[in-house]
Amino acid sequence: MADTGRIGSGQGRAGDLVKREPGSGGVAVLKESAWVLTLFCVACGALVGGVVTLLAEWLVRLSWGPLQGPARLLTSVPKPWQSVGSVGVGAVLGLVVGFVAVHESLSVRVSADRVVLGIRDSSQEFARDRVGLAVRDGKQLVLLGPDGMEIAREECGLPWARLAEAFAAHGYRWADEDPHLEEFRRWVPGMPGMPDGADALLRARAAAREKDAGTDDVRELRGELLRLGVVVRDEKGRQHWRVAGQ
């Protein structure tokens, strides 16, 4: 298992968009460029709008096919307004998606004395002595304490190589894979060996994830489990857990 100074090789989201703020005084600031990310989503939306027009024209030529009603409605609009309207609607939807993506994107500030994770108009700040290891776990950035307890886990679209470089440059240990990965066990309701109350919290979290995996309830229940010493990670829609310090 590689850690200190090891540079990861994963890729981020569209274009690996990273900005380092000038005059940050030894602070590495990594975040996705809001305007580039939004522009990318707008372009994708406009492209989808254009493709929808072409698809509608193809559908109305068929003797039978799905969605022919909406396709005929779209193709009944005179040209060029048909194409202009489709592309315009797609661009607007792309703009909305872009704003949501920017709001949900993770920013990371790394300095010699602290790490700050920013997401959804809020931030989490961790003093240097609380961060024992920074880890890539799939598409998530994970911070572990010196005792192996997970202190943060966030979806991350930033380039992993640059994240690894930033942490290593400021003296933090970095690993390309969670060193505790083999300790995780798939959760089954009522399984033995769990701290008191953990099974009920995992049941509640499973129910919350079925409704929406990104809800505040899911995050809050993860926090409650951490207070019991239970670390949870999700894989292929299933919950896996381990007890920190064992």
Share of the chain above pLDDT 90, in %: 45
Instruction: With respect to residue 10, please indicate whether it lies within any of the assigned structural domains.
Output: no
At residue 11, does pLDDT exceed 50? no
Total-model pTM:
0.69
Element (H or E) spanning 166, and its range?
helix 160-169
Whole-Å CA distances, 200 to 163, 229, 244:
36, 14, 18
Q: Are residues 60 and 111 in the same domain?
A: no
pLDDT digits (tens, 9 = 90+) for 113-170: 999 998 877 889 999 999 999 999 999 999 999 999 999 999 888 999 999 999 999 9
Q: Are residues 77 and 110 in the same domain?
A: no
Instruction: With respect to residue 16, please indicate whether it lies within any of the assigned structural domains.
Output: no
Instruction: With respect to residue 137, please indicate whether it lies within any of the assigned structural domains.
Output: yes
Q: Are residues 38 and 77 in the same domain?
A: yes
Name 82's Cβ contacts closer than 8 Å, sequence gap at least 6. 53, 74, 75
Q: Are residues 111 and 161 in the same domain?
A: yes
Domain residue limits at 97 = 34-103
pLDDT for res 70: 74
Choose one of 88, 103, 118: the last residue of a domain.
103
Instruction: With respect to residue 140, please indicate whether it lies within any of the assigned structural domains.
Output: yes
- CATH code at 145? 2.30.29.30
Q: Are residues 57 and 77 in the same domain?
A: yes
Short-list 170, 32, 56, 42, CA closest to 105: 32
Instruction: With respect to residue 59, please indicate whether it lies within any of the assigned structural domains.
Output: yes
Q: Are residues 82 and 140 in the same domain?
A: no
pLDDT for res 17: 42
Q: Are residues 150 and 187 in the same domain?
A: no
Q: Are residues 230 and 168 in the same domain?
A: no
Choose one of 83, 103, 123: the last residue of a domain.
103
Q: Are residues 163 and 192 in the same domain?
A: no
Q: Are residues 120 and 165 in the same domain?
A: yes
Instruction: With respect to residue 11, please indicate whether it lies within any of the assigned structural domains.
Output: no
- Count of domains forming the chain: 3
| DSSP 8-state assignment for residue 5 | T
3-state secondary structure of 129: helix
pLDDT for res 230: 95
Q: Are residues 92 and 47 in the same domain?
A: yes
